[in-house]
Chain A
Amino acid sequence: MAAVMRLVNRSTLKPKMGHQCLAFSCSAAVAKAVGGSASKNLPERVKIVEVGPRDGLQNEKTIVPAETKIHLIDMLSDSGLPVIEATSFVSPKWVPQMADQVEVMKGISRKPGVSYPVLTPNLKGFQAAVKAGATEVAIFGAASELFSKKNINCSVDESLQRFEEVMKAAKEANVPVRGYVSCVLGCPYEGKVAPGKVAHVAKRLYSMGCYEISLGDTIGVGTPGGMTEMLEAVSREVPVSALAVHCHDTYGQALANILIALQMGISVVDSSVAGLGGCPYAQGASGNVATEDVVYMMHGLGIHTGVDLSKLMDAGAFICRSLNRKTNSKVAQATCKL
């Protein structure tokens, strides 16, 4: 019966569908799987989590003034994106780009229905975030011990303990928490990362109370093979509806990896407008996958995102002008010149 349920679960059935439709949809879903259609049951809707203002800008060399950040976030809000990671409450000593965290948080015009999560690496950051008006936060774990030590100066277990404090405070304050796992497909120091380790960290974060776990290919080395293996391991521990993928395009593999993730039932994808943010481990190489390119693919697949691609491209053009750099988005490059 478990096998039947796996077939059913991979279908387009969603829990919110009335159960009177269930019998028809179940057989339809089974028939679709049998048909061996190459569209392989893609989600109808995908939630795009825009990380440009935080993950993107954090990896840009030029320090961007607060008002530019605010204007960027406001333009992104206008494009229909449902989640926009606004800033990070880390110490400005570590991440000078995010020193204006409070000003940005207070300065943005929050669109109703849009979430503006902020990073909070510890309790201190969490408290500052809530004080500045944050209504959603995010915490960052790593699937690699070495990366954890080098990046946040403690072991994976120690970081999870810190996060327990944040989780507790967040629960009391009724603030939802998103968890990130970095190095899910490879680590710049350790090389290969075992899918089991990724699953272990993802499960810990989920059990602690994170409503969603974003699995990050931090150095973009993953390919569809590794992505499949890793997602299989993680989805045995965390329901697929609570998973997101955060693919870097450093080796050009991001869209292929995202496609495989969609085929495996993932329906939340992180990306960065204009592909902002290089890779700190490969000088001059690209980092985050470009939101424009992701949205183009989604819409081409008939998947609903709620995003207006041309408004998104306007936001991308704006931030590239401000940073005096070219876009990393191929869609933006192609469309501008036609």
Chain B
Amino acid sequence: MGNIPTTVKHCLSYEQLIRDYPWLKRLLLEEKSIAAHEYPEFVKVVEVGPRDGLQNEKEIVPTGVKIQLIDMLSGTGLPVIEATSFVSSKWVPQMADHTDVLKGIQRAPHVQYPVLTPNMHGFQDAVAAGATEVAVFGSASETFSRKNINCSIEESMLRFEEVISAAKEHQIPVRGYVSCALGCPHEGYIEPSKVAEVAKRLYEMGCYEVSLGDTIGVGTPGSMAKMLRSVMEDVPSSALAVHCHDTYGQALANILIALQMGVCVVDSAVAGLGGCPYAQGSSGNVSTEDVLYMLHGMGIETGVDLAKVIEVGDFICNALCRKTNSRVAQARGRTSGHALL
């Protein structure tokens, strides 16, 4: 004990610590696993570019381009690609071609193509068009719910119950989303307990997975940790996903903390498609390329080929006449590639 500072020697001795805290001896043997962060071995990346991404792009993208985008993404190894949304074309003109898109894509085996279905009408159309997985969108903010889908949170839950009930009959899995999980453009701060309440509702209704969305990207690792702790009291981490927006540059740090807390499903959009409708000109979805770069750099498996995703990003950015939001794509595009990857 010669290297122990004098003050510590005066205050306590190892023997005294062990006497006062018998579990400490066990703990010290396990110290290595506490010190090191534990990360999942595999992370499922849910690609939301074709739906959430394109939905927030100003230019209406032709159906052929959407189909080609999804087909290219299918070839990258991504296990889930959110294909389109069966909302009224009055509300979301970008998704007016939902049926053509769903019928036109070439479905790769072992890849899921969930579609959004805000209500029974949308669900029925989706099934008629061949959907085999659907998603419903709740909100942790009352004001956001009213402004976004024109009803209260409770009313939306009743609508989703119908959809989930019908989905069960069709043996169609349902994914739940909770938006404004870390802040609302109208209400500001959102209580973690509210997020937990909505997540729990969706999970207990029958959603196999609940994706927690930082809709305006204001969250930081602190608020992410707090929110996840609250949600995990009612929903197991294995059924959770994080959907981080990079509007304030915090997305990867927020994803990292979520991984440390046991979340192993991450939503992202190729090329960081989709701006933020609440902060003109700002970025929205985190880029799939940047997420993959981080995960692979940490030794976490995803099954996805990063180089192929970069190619897809190039394709859709050319088609949209816009620059990529992905820093990885920006760096790779301009250099012969740093030797490391």
B82 at the interface (CB under 8 A from A): no
Instruction: Give Cα distance in the complex from A252 to B288, angstroms.
Output: 11
Distance in angstroms between the alpha carbons of A284 and B122 in the assembled complex: 44
- Which residues of B are found within 8 Å of A225, using beta-carbon distances? 297-299
Chain B hits for A337, CB < 8 A: 279-282
- For this complex, 16 residue pairs linking A to B, each with C-beta atoms less than 8 Å apart, are A8-B8, A22-B8, A26-B8, A188-B339, A190-B339, A223-B294, A252-B287, A252-B293, A256-B252, A260-B256, A282-B330, A285-B335, A293-B250, A296-B249, A333-B279, A333-B281
- The minimal Cβ–Cβ distance linking A46 to chain B, given in whole angstroms, is 13
Contacts of A249 in B (CB 8 A): 327
Which parts of B271-323 form the interface with A (CB within 8 Å)?
276, 278-283, 287, 290, 293-294, 296-299
A: residues with CB less than 8 A from B are 1-8, 10, 19, 22-23, 26-27, 30, 33-34, 36, 38-40, 186-192, 219-226, 228, 249-253, 255-256, 258-260, 263, 279, 281-286, 290, 293, 296-297, 299-302, 329-331, 333-335, 337-338
Q: Which of B11, B255, B335 is close to A19, meaning CB atoms less than 8 Å apart? A: B11
Give the most central of B3, B256, B280: most A CB within 10 Å: B256
Q: Is the Cβ of B250 less than 8 Å from the Cβ of A6?
A: no
Cβ of B233 < 8 Å from any Cβ of A?
no
Pick the interface stretch among B26-34, B91-99, B126-134.
B26-34
**Which residues of chain A come closer than 8 Å to B249, judged between CB atoms?**
255, 290, 293, 296-297, 329-331
Are the C-beta atoms of A186 and B338 separated by less than 8 Å?
yes
Residues of chain A with a CB closer than 8 A to B12's CB: 22-23, 26
Partner of A334 from B219, B225, B279 at Cβ < 8 Å: B279
Smallest CB gap from A7: residue in B: B31
* Contact partners of B282 in chain A: CB under 8 A: 330, 333-334, 337
Task: Please give, as numbers and ranges, the residues of chain A lying within 8 Å of B281 by CB-CB distance.
Answer: 333, 337
The answer to whether A1 touches B297, judged by C-beta atoms less than 8 angstroms apart, is no
User: Which one, A27, A259, A282, contacts B221 given CB within 8 A?
Assistant: A259
Q: Which residue of A lies closest to B219 (CB)?
A: A300
Could you tell me if B294 and A224 are in contact, using CB atoms closer than 8 angstroms?
yes
A330 touches B248 (CB 8 A): yes
Across the interface, which residues of B come within 8 angstroms of A330, CB to CB? 246-249, 282-283
Contacts of B31 in A (CB 8 A): 3, 6-7
From the candidates A3, A6, A38, A228, name the one contacting B261 in the complex (CB within 8 A). Answer: A38
A5 CA / B328 CA spacing, docked (Å): 40
Tell me how far the C-beta of B46 lies from the nearest C-beta in chain A, rounded to whole angstroms: 19
A38 to B262, CA, bound (A): 10
Task: Report whether A300 and B220 are in contact in the complex, using a CB–CB cutoff of 8 Å.
Answer: yes
Docked Cα-Cα span, A337 to B20, in Å, equals 56
